[in-house]
Each structure stands twice: as C-alpha cells, then as structure tokens.
Amino acid sequence: MSEPISVVKVRNVLLVSMPADPDDSTVAALQDRTLEAMSKYDARALVLDLSKVEILDSYFARMVSETAQMVSLMGGDTIIAGMQPALAVTATELGVTLGRTRTAMTVERALEVAGQPRGSAAKLL
Amino acid sequence: MELLHFLLDNLKEYAILMLDPAGYVKTWTPAAQRLKGYKPEEIIGKHFSVFYAKEDVESGKCERELEAAARDGRFEDEGWRLRKDGTRFWANVVLTALRDSKGDLRGFGKVTRDLSDRRQVEERLRQQSRDVMEMATVPVVQVWEGILLVPLIGMLDSARTQQLMERLLERLTETSSPVALLDITGVPAIDTQTAQHLIETIKAVRYIGAEVVLTGVRPAIAQTLVHLGVDLSSATTRASLAAGLRVALGLLNLHVAAANASGQAAV
C-alpha cells in the first residue's frame, strides 16, 4: 500500500499531491477524489503536485490527462507542478499530450499561475 | 644477499613478500609495512586474504589467484586492496610461483605496487574529457537569471538530441530557469526525425513547467519544416537569437530600456 494522495484546498485552488510511487489503486483514487473535491469546494483550479513522483506508467499518464480534461469540463484549470526531468522524458516517450493543461516548476509558482486568468500576460518568475 | 635485502627494504612503491603454498605470509619488508600498515609481528603467519575486500574473499578470489599462479607460474591483477586501517588503494599485484629444483611448490612471491596516484590522475583525465565532450555536444549556458541558452552547432542525431533533452531538463531544474532558448542557427539541415526530436524536447521542457523559444530559424530551415509537414505551431519560434531573447525577457515580464539621462542602464 503506497502513501495516500493528499488533497488540500488553498483559497479557491485545490492542491493534490501524488506520492513517490503510486500503485494502481492510488492512481484510480486520484480522479475520484479530485473531481469530488472540485465539486465540493467549487474550486476554480487544480494544482497537481507531481514533484515527489518517480515513476510514470501509461495508466498514470492517462489518468492525469483525463482528470485534467474532466476538471476543464467542470470549469477549472489544471496546472501540473514540479515534474522531475526523468519523469518529463518518460512522459514524452509515452506520448502524453498536455492539451490545455498548464505547467509550473514548483507548487508555489503553480498557485500563482492558478490565480491568473488563462491567456493573461504570462509571467514566469 | 645483503644488498638484495637493502633493495627490498628501500623500494618505495613496491611491497615484496613471500607466501607459503597455502597463502600465509612468510616474510615482510619495511616497504610492505609502509604500503599496507602492518608490522611484521602482526602479519607474518596471517593469510594474505586480509589484503582483500570482504566481497573478494567471499567470491574466492584469493584461492583463484593462487591456483592460477601455481598453474601458469605467474598471475597478475589490478584492483582494490585494503590497508590495515581499512582504507583502499588501487594496486597492481603479481604473484609468482616459487618451485624448488624438484618442481615442488614452495610458496609464492608477491609484488604489490600502489597505483593510487596513477589511477587518480587517469580518473581525473577521464572526467575532464567527459566534461569537455558533453559541453561540446550540448552546451547549456545561463544568459540571464531564469534564461538558459543552448547554441546548437552541427548536425543533430538521435543520440545528441537525447542528450540535449536530458541535460537541458536537468539544468533548467537545477537553476530554476523557466525559459530555454534553443538556438539552431548553427544547424546546417533538419530532417523529419531531427524535427521530431526537437518537438519532443520542447514538450518535455513544458512538462517540468518551463518554456522553450526556438531561435535561429533561417529561411532554408523554415522552408524545410513546412515542406516536411512538421507542425511547430505549439512552440514559440523566432528567426534570430536577438528576437528570441526579447521573447524570453517578455515571458519573465522584463524589458530592456535604453540608458536614461543619468547614464544608468535600466533593465
């Protein structure tokens, strides 16, 4: 049993952190718990913290992009935060597409991005 | 004979000793003491496996060496050996079988040479050439706080683009830089595969939360890309590095202004 997912509401942003090596049931729980919390808190954005994650498989990758699409249907933005270089390489090899999902190097930065409306002048620092 | 002893005692880097046929130490010289740290009374009569690391002893390396020396007359090896205090040194070891006139095995001569210095120099040289090679293949330089520049020169093959992706991602994370300028001014030609690799690199950079600005897209390169049907619309591209740098600064909400009346440049 791997470490559980942490779901925290920060103002009107939902911060979801994935453990280092999530098993399939943890990954499956990601979607349910995220969507449930989105609706419960009426959050406007989801920050998905992947900074601890060390292994990405196709199932996990699909879950992430599906969840982002669902969050988008519920009117929220998704920002993926803190993806490590090795994970990014795997993601390209798996052909993961980001679509409308935004990314940030750190959770801190992602929370700032979440506060800005989409398409506003990007400010990366 | 006395001269020979004098020689054996004064050799600095060589420890010359004798083992009995079963591998127990029979003689010990001051040079051996200097090299390995044991006094004669501590080591004479001990098995020579005390000079080896635990995993070597367990794998039966000592017995194998004695067998090889007895069979072939001589055995040579280079590897880690232990001093009395447990520290390691890189040694060249030659075991020679000593046989009497009847051909019976009387023991072994063992010459151990400390090559730690040579190994360190070799290791340093190897590291330096690795660094230089890496720098020449994929140079990554920081041009501004938050902006890395990769000036690519020469043809891009798969191995090189793979290295580029890994190194760029690492450096971006290390320096927390949100923007990378990928300059292809010095790349003579681009084919579908190279373009695909570049697109993958741009994607990977985006996953970690940074942006790539592809610069140095010359007319010929622009033509090739369109004719090949490569879709780079998801990436920001510019013809010159200067234009790309402006985009990069813009992404960081910075702008360059001319020096004001007081003569101070403002950025």
For B252, which of A109, A110, A125 is closest by C-beta distance?
A125
Q: Are B241 and B152 in contact (CB under 8 A)?
A: no
Within 8 A of A84 by CB-CB distance, chain B residues are 173, 208
For the cut 60, the answer to whether the pLDDT of residue B265 exceeds it is: no
Gap from B175 CA to chain A (nearest CA, Å): 11
Q: Are A95 and A60 in contact (CB under 8 A)?
A: no
Distance CA B142, CA B180 (A): 9
Q: Which domains are present in chain B?
A: 2-117 (3.30.450.20), 128-251 (3.30.750.24)
What is the chain A residue with the closest CA to B209? A104
Q: Are B173 and A109 in contact (CB under 8 A)?
A: no
Q: Is residue A52 part of a domain?
A: yes
Residue B2 Cα to chain centre, angstroms: 47
What is the chain A residue with the closest CA to B174? A85
Within 8 A of A122 by CB-CB distance, chain B residues are 251
pLDDT of residue A2: 60
pTM: 0.60
Chain A residues bordering chain B (beta-carbon distance below 8 Å) = 80-85, 87-89, 91-92, 96, 98, 103-106, 109-110, 121-125
For the cut 50, the answer to whether the pLDDT of residue B182 exceeds it is: yes
> What digits encode the pLDDT tens for the residues B186-208?
888 888 888 888 888 999 999 99
> What digits encode the pLDDT tens for the residues B128-139?
887 777 666 788
Q: Is residue A120 part of a domain?
A: no
Q: Is residue A123 part of a domain?
A: no
Distance CA B208, CA B23 (A): 58
For B208, which of A83, A123, A125 is closest by C-beta distance?
A83
Mean pLDDT estimate for chain A: 86
- Kindly give the residue spans of alpha helices, DSSP state H, lying in B97-214: 116-137, 158-175, 192-207
Minimum mean pLDDT range among A90-99, B107-116, B160-169, B194-203: A90-99
Label residue B151 by pLDDT band (50, 70, 90).
very high
pLDDT of residue B118: 84
For B169, which of A82, A85, A104 is closest by C-beta distance?
A85
> What digits encode the pLDDT tens for the residues B78-100?
888 989 898 888 899 999 999 98
pLDDT of residue B230: 83
Mean pLDDT estimate for chain B: 87
Q: Is residue A53 part of a domain?
A: yes
For the cut 60, the answer to whether the pLDDT of residue A120 exceeds it is: no
pLDDT of residue B257: 84
Within 8 A of A123 by CB-CB distance, chain B residues are 251-253
| A95, amino acid identity | G
The more confidently predicted of residues B156 and B109 is B109
For B169, which of A82, A88, A106 is closest by C-beta distance?
A88
Gap from B216 CA to chain A (nearest CA, Å): 23
Q: Are A29 and A5 in contact (CB under 8 A)?
A: yes
Return the structure tokens found at A104. Answer: 């940030």
* For testing contact with chain B, the best of A105, A106, A111 (most B CBs within 10 A): A105
For the cut 60, the answer to whether the pLDDT of residue B71 exceeds it is: yes
* For testing contact with chain A, the best of B175, B208, B251 (most A CBs within 10 A): B208
Label residue B170 by pLDDT band (50, 70, 90).
very high
First vs last C-alpha separation in chain B: 82
Q: Is residue A125 part of a domain?
A: no
Distance CA B171, CA B145 (A): 13
- Number of compact structural domains in chain A: 1
* Average confidence (pLDDT) over A9-14: 90
Range of A16's domain?
A: 6-115
Q: Is residue A36 part of a domain?
A: yes
pLDDT of residue A115: 77
Q: Is residue A47 part of a domain?
A: yes
Label residue A82 by pLDDT band (50, 70, 90).
very high
Q: Are A105 and A82 in contact (CB under 8 A)?
A: yes
pLDDT of residue B157: 81
- What number of C-beta contacts closer than 8 Å exist between A and B? 75
CATH number of the domain where residue A64 is located: 3.30.750.24
Do the Cβ atoms of A83 and B179 come within 8 Å? no
> What digits encode the pLDDT tens for the residues A31-53?
999 999 988 888 899 999 999 99
pLDDT of residue B135: 65
Q: Is residue A122 part of a domain?
A: no
Write phi, then psi, for B44 (nearest 5 degrees).
-65, 130
For B208, which of A88, A123, A125 is closest by C-beta distance?
A88
For the cut 60, the answer to whether the pLDDT of residue B264 exceeds it is: no
